[in-house]
Structure 1
Amino acid sequence: MAYTYDYPRPALTADAVVFCAEERKILLIKRRNPPFQHKWALPGGFVDVNELPVQACIRELQEETGLRLKDGQLLGVYGEEGRDPRGWTVSVSFVFKIDKVLMDKVCPGSDSQEVAWYSISLLPELAFDHHEIIKAAGL
């Protein structure tokens, strides 16, 4: 069934802020694909049709880092103009707090060249608006 809408609709994404309080570090991926190819970013990606944002976040996190987490806590919704050069994109972001023992379980996956843990106080330049999302987490 075809639909026609009078208003434009954004693409929906989900991003994961994975934080280890013991080490004061956050998990980042180096992007394999454009936009922001080879830049560091939060794990995340597009929400599939009929998929809940939290489930998309959990799926993308596993695909990109190998981590199988659950029970992410809603952080916020981000849709500022220009946050994604591909067009109007709205991200639902979640925070996952993990124990130190899980830090060694990460590995690059489908859309990530590398994965790494960064100190909250020494973050690299990040893709999209991911600095703002991390700042909002108050870590």
Structure 2
Amino acid sequence: MEKTNFLLAKNEVNPAKVLPGWYVAVIDGKQATTLKAFYEQIAQALDFPEEFSHDLESFDEMINDLEWIEEEKVAIYIRNSNEWLSREKANDRLLTIIDLLDATAEDWKWMDEEEEEDVSRKELLVVIDDTPRIRTLLEDQEIPFRALD
């Protein structure tokens, strides 16, 4: 079975126990109800360099780099996912972030050998608390996911 980029957690998990050896960035959906707040949390959780501009283009650039993180495996754990970006007027921004994370995780998988010499290769995984809202969004975007064992 192909590895999915998204894992859905039934109950709040301890990412360090579930993903030993991974760099785990924890995002609290209750504190990231807007895109601005999400950018602030992700920048802190992934220790983005100072040049991060707190916008989508800069987020895309940073999440596709991650060279400053020593670990090859990086997980983003979004707890309280029902509240995550819930104050945004439409789901468009949330869908854009989800699509970008999925595309980035896929890009890391298919990095060719020539690119690997120039860039430290990473594996990206997104763990999200399982809610009907998140499940529906992933299904509507046709993004594969599986339950966290």
Give the TM-score taking structure 2 as reference length: 0.31
Question: Which of the pair is proportionally richer in strand?
Answer: 1
Higher relative contact order (CA 8 A, sep 6+): 2
TM-score, normalized by length of structure 1? 0.32
